[in-house]
Amino acid sequence: MISTTDILYQLIILGQPEPDILKKVEEHVSKYVKDFEMEIGKQVVWSTNPASLDIQPHQAVAAIYFGHANPTDTEVQGMASRNIPILPVVDDTDHATKQLPPALQPLNAVGIKQHTPERIASALLECVSLLPRQRRVFLSYRRAEARSAALQLFDTLSARQFSVFLDTHEISPGVHFQQALWHNLCDCDVLIMLDTIEYFGSRWTKAEFGRALAKNIPILRVGWPSVATDSRARTSSTVALEEKDLSTDGTISQEKVVEICTAVERTRCLSHAVRNLNIISHLKDAAECVGGTLRAIGRNSAAHIELPNGDGEIIVYPQVGVPTSRALHDAHGYAIARTKLVPAVVYDHIGLHPSWQEHMDWLGEHVRAVRWLKLEDAAWRFADWEDRT
């Protein structure tokens, strides 16, 4: 039997799901949590219309409600009274109110007609905060060769609730172009390289590609016809285009665009898992370097680190991408009842815009309940962590 202390996430199914849709969603959830080195039935539990709830303070909980013809508020009353996030899923968002109880009608629903099971699965994990709600993609391309395709993907991915960085759209006049570009690269989930004939012939696309690798950002290669995969990109996921997939105006066929979007969804989830685990690995090494230990990984990948000399336990909350003040709030909320030592948010500062780093430093000086921790400074800071709440 699994102990409730081992369970970090509870995912609850409400309503009347179609068995085939529910099966597909569960399969994708299972794939995604495995990327985080967790399993359904162990750290993540999955239950359908439970008669009662047993929720421990350290657990994160979210529900998914599958709409049907006769919805009632009693189906969600227990969840709503506890302020548990609920993701409404309906057949078609154009008729959402007919399938949802009044309590859920103000919420933005996900339509099975409009979205894939992958997107429903990732949205559920966003509700439970295993994945962030931000969905950011960086388009890397040669303007002379792939401008039309880049604009097409910008529009399509934006419609699918991705925040897409396109150099011609995102950098304001008068802003230092390269500093802004690298800052946005650091904050993306996936780099999409439009691998045209001269992609690696440009200093800047080569730099974008290389720095994505340096930041452990997964790369999705969209390969143009007759362009062989460069040795540098052989570990990247690939969507290969054929001549028939490109129109005379340089746009990509709708079938391939859908394939690219599906690949982005999957790669995005893998991205957060890989980058989280990379930060955890660095924290483990830093703790052991000064005689401490990594005791456990908690909800939202929070690292519980036992400091040397009996100083106590510090909870370090990894921040993938560009950190924000919200990360401080979330870390404090998670750690306040679990440790006497001031918790921390750890981030990789390399590549961040200088003005943003100044902002982080200012917050660190004025918000004393949580500390900022640069990843490369972790061991140095762990050796003398005296701040207490």
pLDDT single digits (tens) 186-200:
999 999 999 999 999
Q: Which residue has the tokens 């989830």?
A: 269
- Residue 264: the pLDDT is 94
How high is the pLDDT of residue 2?
A: 43
Average pLDDT over residues 305-315: 82
Could you read off the pLDDT of 250-294 as tens digits, one per residue?
Answer: 999 999 999 999 999 989 988 888 898 999 999 999 999 999 999
User: 194 and 222 in contact (C-beta within 8 Å)?
Assistant: yes
- CA–CA distance, 168 with 128 (Å, rounded to integer): 34
Q: What is the pLDDT of residues 209-251, one digit of tens each?
A: 999 999 999 999 999 998 999 998 888 999 999 999 999 999 9
The CATH number of 136-271 is: 3.40.50.10140
Helix (H) or strand (E) holding 163: strand 163-165
Whether the Cβ atoms of residue 314 and residue 382 lie closer than 8 Å to each other:
yes
Tell me the two tokens of residue 47: 């239950």
- Whose tokens are 């006769």? That residue is 70
Among residues 353, 351, 355, 346, the alpha carbon closest in space to that of 378 is found at 346
With the C-alpha atoms ordered 244, 245, 246, 251, is the resulting torsion angle positive or negative? positive
Angle at 273 between CA 352 and CA 4, to 5 degrees: 125
pLDDT tens figures, 16-68: 999 999 999 999 999 999 999 999 999 999 998 888 878 887 788 999 999 99
Which CA distances in Å does 367 have to 147, 343, 375? 44, 12, 19
| pLDDT score at 5 | 57
Q: What is the DSSP letter of 388?
A: B
In the numeric block, which tokens belong to residue 151?
A: 């604009």
pLDDT tens for each residue of 136-184: 999 999 999 999 999 999 999 999 889 999 876 555 554 566 888 888 8
What CATH number is given for 9-127 in this structure? 3.40.50
pTM exceeds cut of 0.95: no
Mean pLDDT, all residues of the chain: 88
Cα 272 to Cα 36: distance, rounded to the nearest angstrom: 8
Domains 9-127 and 136-271 are alike in CATH topology: yes
Indicate the domain borders of the chain. Answer: 9-127, 136-271, 290-382
Query: Which tokens in the block code for residue 210?
Result: 């290389």
Res. 310 pLDDT band, cuts 50 70 90: confident
Looking at residue 123, the DSSP 8-state letter turns out to be H
